Amino acid sequence: MPLGTDTLPGTDSLTSPAFLADAPRFLFFTGKGGVGKTSIACASAIRLAEGGASVLLVSTDPASNVGQVFGVTIGNTVTRIDAVPGLAALEIDPEQAVQQYRERIVGPVRGLLPAAEVASIEEQLSGACTTEIASFNEFTDLLTDAAWTAAYDHIVFDTAPTGHTIRLLQLPGDWTDFLTTGKGDPSCLGPLSGLEKQRAVYAQAVDALGDPERTRLVLVARAQQSTLAEAARTHGELAAIGMSRQYLVVNGVLPGENADPLAAAIRRRERRALDARDPALAALPTGYLPLMAANMVGLPALRSLLPRDGTAVGMDSAAELLTSGPDAPVHRGNSSDAAQLGAVGLSTLVDQIAADDHGLVMLMGKGGVGKTTMAAAVAVALAERGFAVHLTTTDPAAHLTDTLDGELTNLEVSRIDPAVEIKRYTEHVLATKGARLDEQGLAMFREDLRSPCTEEIAVFQAFSRVTREARNKFVVLDTAPTGHTLLLLDATGSYHREVARQMGTTMHFVTPMMKLQDPAQTKVLLVTLAETTPVLEAAGLQEDLRRAGIEPWAWIVNNSIAAAAPTSPLLQRRAANELPEIDAVHRYAARTIVVPLLAVEPIGIPALAGLSGR
């Protein structure tokens, strides 16, 4: 049913949220970055614990800020939250998990095999597939070891395992024999070499994930097209592998009617996004949470998100939430004050990029921060300055053509389509390496090529082709969300190390990683929102890039309410909360640009050109 004055079917009152009713042992909260899944997971854990249950809250997010939310240091050991009797928390550290996983495999052969072979094994275990398996390895005990978790009635996970991870765990069980006979050359050789030892445990874990009596998945989204599309994709991917007991929570819906044009435009956008969501998503039991004035940090704020006393801040439906409660307009902020939030404007940033005449411009950041829009705006601004520009994306959820909504001289637009690249790569390896295999070996090889690691290799090859174009034009690359971006860079780094090892010091060579490390050839722009979690994750991404020898060139704070000078009291309080985050960005960044939240979405070339002041 389209949104209107009627209550939507399948919604629930947030004073008694359906996703917590008769809660099973395991609850998973997942969604795009910045949608509030950590806040909702923490609020749910508090509510269950204060209802008398014993609860363990577990974060598997590489950029976890659960400790910051509660104001305590947690880390990789179970830590009691003293302010909430019955609640404990644990943050799984992916880097530590990878180190332990790698050492468990490599340790027994170190000293027995030549150093070069040990180094080769370690290299095979350096990819993102290994990171996901190692992290999953850490919480399989939580799903399968009843004795270890007997003290807890509920285990609440902030971030569910991805379909990528579960798909990898479901690869055939007889890889060991295949590899031992020397027939195998799979793309996931490193992770698989450690998979066999715990295959029975993994099978129990996958069974637990697919059992609706034990596990419930809560998809978290905002009333935005991109996050709802991501939720729909996740819903289908995980339902296909057995996680069918799913709920949807739409977080941060702007309540009330008032005279503020910005607030009215946001509500219209949210209504359209909810009306247009995927039918499979609309059929899920759904609850709505309003946009809160304060950041969800500290127990009072978390308790207010899911109150127990019946004084609802939530509504039964999006229709009720979108039409309730007028806000009185107040004095509008000064636009010159808003302009001072950024050191330079987007137009000045593009002028500085244009001074090099060519090069690779990469936009990175969490999902949902507006990388596609910013990439399109930069590409349009460069093309309007007369430069040849190739705008492309590695993000499977990006819609560059929809954002541009038109054509422009000098601007070429493409998409690195994982499906196309996988098909190209698969056909090539089957015609070469696969030609040597017998019927059984070929069947297993085909199975391996359906694993997620194949996408990593195939997309990397396409990425390498695109970077070569930056020698004589501008290539603007809209990357996938942070996890996928690091996967891509990890593949690039692995390739660089392998080339360096093979070439030695006698020959000159240039790899894609070397191009990324050279600011004269590549400029990395980190895109974030003026919110705690996106800023923290962007800062973590900056550290990861620096460890790889890549220095981010600038930060873009997108969709800033503070820079838009709203009149709505709620939005003004949100704007005030942005200022410390923008100050933090200034400390992190060499250059900072603040782009205001617009009443009209920047879709179409004229609107995108307007973002850069032209």
Active site residues: 34, 36-39, 61, 533
CB burial string 511-539: b at 16+ within 10 A, e below: bbbbbbbeeebbbbbbbbbbbbbbbbbbb
66 neighbors 56 (Cβ within 8 angstroms): no
**What residue type is assigned to position 594 of the chain?**
V
569 neighbors 575 (Cβ within 8 angstroms): no
* Closest of 316, 369, 322, 379 to residue 346, by C-alpha: 379
Question: How many Cβ atoms sit within 10 Å of the Cβ of residue 587?
Answer: 8
292 neighbors 314 (Cβ within 8 angstroms): no
Q: Is 406 left (phi over 0), alpha (psi -120 to 50) or beta?
A: left
For 560-575, the DSSP string reads: ESGGG---SHHHHHHH
Question: How many Cβ atoms sit within 10 Å of the Cβ of residue 463?
Answer: 20
C-alpha R_g of the chain: 25
Sheet with 522-528, strands from edge to edge, namely 411-413, 389-393, 474-478, 359-364, 522-528, 554-560, 592-596
CA distances 133 to 90, 127, 169, Å, are 18, 10, 8
422 neighbors 458 (Cβ within 8 angstroms): yes
* E strand intervals along 254-358: 286-290
Token digits of residue 381:
């601004």
* Closest of 364, 359, 366, 391 to residue 376, by C-alpha: 391
For 335-393, the DSSP string reads: HHHHHTTSSS-HHHHHHHHHTTSSEEEEEE-STTS-HHHHHHHHHHHHHHTT--EEEEE
Token digits of residue 295:
């950041």
Q: Which helix (H) or strand (E) holds 91?
A: strand 87-91
Question: How many Cβ atoms sit within 10 Å of the Cβ of residue 423?
Answer: 12
